[in-house]
Amino acid sequence: MKTRGRQPVRWGLVAFATFWMLVIVPLSAAAAPYAAFVMDARNGEVLYANNADTRLHPASLTKMMTLYVVFEAIENGEIGLDDKVVISRNAASEPPSKLGVRAGSSIALRYLIRAAAVKSANDAATALGEAIEGSEAQFARRMNRTAEALGMTRTTFKNAHGLTENGHLSTARDMSILGRHLFYDFPQYYNLFSRITTDAGVTSVSHTNRRLLEAYRGADGIKTGYTRAAGFNLTASAERGGERIIATVFGGQSTASRNAKVAELLDLGFNKAPTQVAVHRPARPPYLGKLGTAPVMIAAGEDRPSVAAKTVRLTTAAAVIKSLRPQSRPMATAQMPVIAARDDIERALLAAQEIETATIAASDTPEDSTTVTPDVRPEQRPTDIVLASAPAPEPEPEVVTRVSTSGGRHWGINVGRYSSEYKARQMLLQTALNEMATLDGSLRKVVQRPAGFDANFMGMTRESADLACRRLQAKKVTCFMIGPS
């Protein structure tokens, strides 16, 4: 009788366990919907998309934007890599994954960047945001402005680390766009995302995605993410034979299954992408600066400012404390040298064009043969134009038309395709004279194509080609990088 009396209890436990397995567990799994996106990083072409525009929890993929804003701040002189950051109580109290820095302690910015990029440390990400904008809330608003400028149309950030918060959402497409911008906009920092281990100041940290980095040929980043609401997320990038593919997965069920799916998507990308593709770098967004000083309009009640607006309205009563632009010089001392320099360039351009026109018409010398570069230095300026306390101007460098491509100088840039060789050479000469700082020492080369003549500068490092393209694009000159063949 006692045994029989226990049977209803046993059946009740079995029924409860069955209900848990059939109802509660599936509801938990449904909290992390799946999404995937694959693109050819060279030109941004979409190769695969599945649920790619659904707003989901990005988890620590958020730190890609945190680091993008930090890199932008460093580039524009807001903060330096060796500047010391004092850790706030708010940053120190963030849950793991974390670097473990104590409140009140100080650490160099470069170590916080490494910890956020490699270990995905939440305390480091929060400290970075506070160091740039003063508070995490202010930093999140800057992240949103930057996301809008990058074309991440379905992303809203609420914090710098990616822990689950109401309204903190993104998409697989938007995170792939961000990953592409990290690669092209900040190549000098991109190697961080492929470091298996790195020194983070207080300790050595290991990469959260070292398994895929070590197992998949060509993988070099970018960022993992996990929360219960998000599932196992990953934005990965890999390069093989000059082809670069970026793939993003949201809602993986485990680290192993997520990595396997990403590897499958990367393989799909490499198989589908054409071998030869012209590289079209994504356009750099405008530098928006700190809140209250950026050249954007903030309408009443608007959460994020409009990037397209040109009017300025400060969000606080305080005026701009310091300007990121140089002070204007008095007209009497600045205008005459500027006019003289412009005249020098125009005279040199005309003289050089005459020489090159005569050379092209009279010579059948092959493209790769050695030629003598004419001296196209501008005429000496009048000695009566003197800037107070300024050193004597150095002579303009000659335009070098032949250079060795040894020492890693296998990159170049293209500044357009033209209907004739003469027009292509004319554009190369004009560009070289107007952008001597970055193009000095490069090789001017015209390449005939079926559709016209490409005007290229070759024999550059990747860094110098990247800088030259950015400077030319800022001057409204069409430009894209050419990788090693």
Which of the residues are catalytic? 60, 63, 120
Burial class (CB in 10 A: 0-12, 13-18, 19+), 281: buried
Residue type, 383: T
CB count within 10 Å of CB 383 equals 7
What tokens were used for 362? 């009279």
Give yes or no for a cis peptide into 355 (omega within 30° of 0): no
Is residue 320 a contact partner of residue 293, using CB atoms and an 8 Å limit? yes
Q: Taking Cα atoms as reference points, which of 470, 41, 51, 13 lies closest to residue 285?
A: 470
Q: At 270, phi and psi to the nearest 5?
A: -65, -35
Three-state SS at 392: coil
CA distances from 397 to 355, 377, 413, 468 (A): 17, 7, 20, 17
Q: At 4, phi and psi to the nearest 5?
A: -65, -35
Angle at 65 between CA 266 and CA 280, to 5 degrees: 55
Burial class (CB in 10 A: 0-12, 13-18, 19+), 462: middle
Do strands 204-206 and 219-227 pair parallel, antiparallel, or not at all (unpaired)?
unpaired
- Long-range pairs for 27-33: beta carbons < 8 A, 24 or more residues apart: 28/228, 29/253, 31/228, 31/229, 31/231, 32/56, 32/57, 32/228, 32/229, 32/230, 32/231, 32/250, 32/251, 32/252, 32/253, 33/250, 33/251
How far apart CA 405 and CA 380 sit, in angstroms, is 33
E strands of 202-354, at which residues? 204-206, 219-227, 231-240, 243-252
What tokens were used for 48? 């695969």
